[in-house]
Amino acid sequence: MEPAYVTSSWPSLGMIWWRDLLRFSRDQSQIIGSLSRPLLWLLVLGFGLGSVVTSVGGLTYPEFLLPGIIGLNLLFASFLSAISIIWDREFGFLKEMLVAPISRTTIALGKALSGSTIAVLQGGLVLAFAPLVHVHLAWGHLLATLGLMALLAFACTSLGILVASRTTSFEGFGVISNLIIMPMFFLSGAMFPVDRLPSWLAVLVRLNPMTYGIDALRAALIGIHAFPVWFDIGFVAGFAALALWGAVWYFNRTS
């Protein structure tokens, strides 16, 4: 009879998660990047386009844009952290995990959790800019926002890991993730309201999980939304489950 500690995979899962957080905390360039990227978008897009678009549904354009920028930042950060799986493979550390007595599922899940945690940390920094565009949050709204961000980040990271476990090089991952990130962002209603679009575009927008993630963020941050919030959450959660399942399945099959 073997002692009970042998069978639990929670400590391993926690360790895989914690290791990526440690790595992130030691990488200044990533931290600076995650601050400067949204700031730039918010300033350039918000105030640049804001001089043309005066108001959207009674809100100033920068206000309207804030949830979209948070979503975009989550999307970018999620894909960037999914790269760590390629990184680990390239530098041999993945072998250390693959020969250990833990399941492939634990590894993939640990990676998805650490990736989304880092993405939320990065995306959360954008919230610090909220007062800049005159969005002031109550504690309840802040908590709701963080919860939604975690869900959206988990969905995006799982997708990123699915892509990362299918590509073998950084370059390949860069190309494919751009092919995914750009349409996901531009077809999400992050920059424009989704209720007055030509129908062909509306179809694409409605299939995009980012649309619902950003819609829910908008509900929490500035009080407007195009779809019922429960539907937003359900759609993103469903997509997250599907992407995670795909990532775990693929990772199990290939390594």
Partner 1 sequence: MAPIIEVTHLSKHYGRLRAVDDVSFHVEPGEIFGFLGPNGAGKTTTIHALCTLLQPTAGAATVAGYDVATRPHDVRRSIGIIFQDSSLDERLTAYENLNFHGILYHLPRAVRRQRIDEVLQLVDLAPRRHAIVKTFSGGMKRRLEMARGLLHHPKVLFLDEPTLGLDPQSRSHMWEYLRALRAREGITMFLTTHYMDEAEDCDRIAVIDHGKIIALDTPAGLKRQYGGGDRLTLRTEDDAATAEALQQRCRVSVERSEEGLRIALTNGHAGLPEVLAACPSKIVALDLHHPSLDDVFLRLTGRGMRDTDANELDQLRSFRKKWNLRT
Determine how many CB atoms are found less than 10 A away from the CB of residue 145.
Answer: 22
End-to-end distance of the chain based on CA atoms, in angstroms? 30
Please state the closest distance from residue 108 (CB atom) to partner 1, in A. Answer: 15
Q: Does 199 bind partner 1 (CB under 8 A)?
A: no
Rounded to whole angstroms, how far apart are CA atoms 218 and 211?
A: 10
Report the distance separating Cα 147 and Cα 150, nearest Å.
5
Q: Does 12 bind partner 1 (CB under 8 A)?
A: yes
Q: Name which of 110 and 123 has its Cβ closer to partner 1.
A: 110
| Total length of the chain | 255
Stretch that binds partner 1, among 1-9, 59-67, 154-162, 233-241 (CB under 8 A): 1-9
Rounded Cα gap, residues 9 and 71, in angstroms:
32
Interface region with partner 1, contact rule CB under 8 A, candidates 20-28, 129-137, 174-182, 230-238: 20-28
Pair of tokens at residue 78: 């999620």
Single residue of 32, 40, 44, 100 touching partner 1 by CB under 8 A: 100
- CB of 87 vs partner 1, minimal distance in Å: 9
Q: At its nearest, how many Å lie between partner 1 and the CB of residue 249?
A: 17
**Judged by CB under 8 A, which of 36, 40, 57, 95 binds partner 1?**
95
Look at residue 59 and give its three-state secondary structure.
Answer: strand
The verdict on 230 binding partner 1 (CB under 8 A) reads no
Position of tokens 């908590």? 143
Query: What is the residue-wise DSSP string for 155-174?
Result: HHHHHHHHHHTT--SHHHHH
Q: Which of 102, 137, 142, 197 lies at the binding interface for partner 1 (CB under 8 A)? A: 102
Question: From CA 209, how far away is CA 188, in angstroms rounded?
Answer: 8
Q: Is 32 in the site for partner 1 (CB under 8 A)?
A: no
Please, which residues bridge with residue 60 across strands?
55
Site residues (CB under 8 A) for partner 1, limited to 62-81: none
Q: Which of 200, 182, 199 is nearest to 191 (CA)?
A: 182
Q: Which amino acid is at 31?
A: I
92 binds partner 1 (CB under 8 A): yes
Q: Which of 51, 58, 91, 198 binds partner 1 (CB under 8 A)?
A: 91
Residues that bind partner 1 (CB under 8 A): 5-6, 8, 11-12, 14-15, 19, 22-23, 26-27, 90-93, 95-103
